[in-house]
Amino acid sequence: MRKPIIAGNWKMNKTMAETKEMITALAPKIVNADCDVVLCVPYTDLQAAKKAAKGTNIKIGAENVGWAEKGAFTGEVSAEMLNELKVTYVIIGHSERRQYFGETDATVNMRVQAALNAKLKPIVCVGETETERENGETEKVLEKQICEGLKGFKSKDFDKIVIAYEPVWAIGTGKTATATDANNTIGYIRHILAKKFHKSIAEKTRIEYGGSMNVKNCKELMAQEEIDGGLIGGASLKPDDFAFIVNYNK
CA 226 to chain centre: 16
Rounded to a whole number of angstroms, the minimum distance from the CB of residue 185 to ligand PEP is: 14
Please choose, out of 24-32, 132-140, 184-192, 204-212, the segment that lies near ligand PEP by the rule CB under 6 A.
204-212
Residue closer to ligand PEP, measured from CB, 201 or 235? 235
Residue type, 103: E
Is residue 210 left, alpha or beta, with left meaning phi > 0 and alpha meaning psi from -120 to 50?
beta
Rounded to a whole number of angstroms, the minimum distance from the CB of residue 80 to ligand PEP is: 26
Residue closer to ligand PEP, measured from CB, 100 or 136? 100
Backbone angles phi, psi at 203, to 5 degrees: -75, -35
Query: What's the CA gap between 57 and 29, in Å, rounded?
Result: 11
Contact 90, 60 (CB under 8 A): no
Please choose, out of 48-56, 74-82, 131-139, 210-218, the segment that lies near ligand PEP by the rule CB under 6 A.
210-218
Which residues 222-241 are close enough to bind ligand PEP by CB under 6 A? 231-234
Please choose, out of 98-106, 190-198, 206-214, 242-250, the segment that lies near ligand PEP by the rule CB under 6 A.
206-214
Residue closer to ligand PEP, measured from CB, 46 or 91? 91
Residue type, 167: P
Query: What's the CA gap between 15 and 17, in Å, rounded?
Result: 5
Please tell me what DSSP assigns to residue 4.
Answer: P
Contact 55, 68 (CB under 8 A): no
User: Does 185 engage in binding with ligand PEP (CB under 6 A)?
Assistant: no
Rounded to a whole number of angstroms, the minimum distance from the CB of residue 231 to ligand PEP is: 5
Rounded to a whole number of angstroms, the minimum distance from the CB of residue 156 to ligand PEP is: 27
Sign for the CA dihedral angle at 224, 11, 246, 33 comes to positive
Which residues 147-176 are close enough to bind ligand PEP by CB under 6 A? 166, 171-172
- Report the residue closest to ligand PEP, judged by CB: 233
Backbone angles phi, psi at 146, to 5 degrees: -70, -50
Residues whose CB falls within 8 Å of the CB of residue 207, separated by 6 or more in sequence, listed in order: 162, 163, 164, 165, 186, 189, 190, 226, 227, 228, 229
How many positions of this chain bind ligand PEP (CB under 6 A)? 13
Among 149, 211, 229, 239, binds ligand PEP (CB under 6 A): 211
Rounded to a whole number of angstroms, the minimum distance from the CB of residue 88 to ligand PEP is: 18
Q: Which residues are catalytic?
A: 94, 166
Binding site for ligand PEP (CB under 6 A): 9, 11, 166, 171-172, 210-213, 231-234
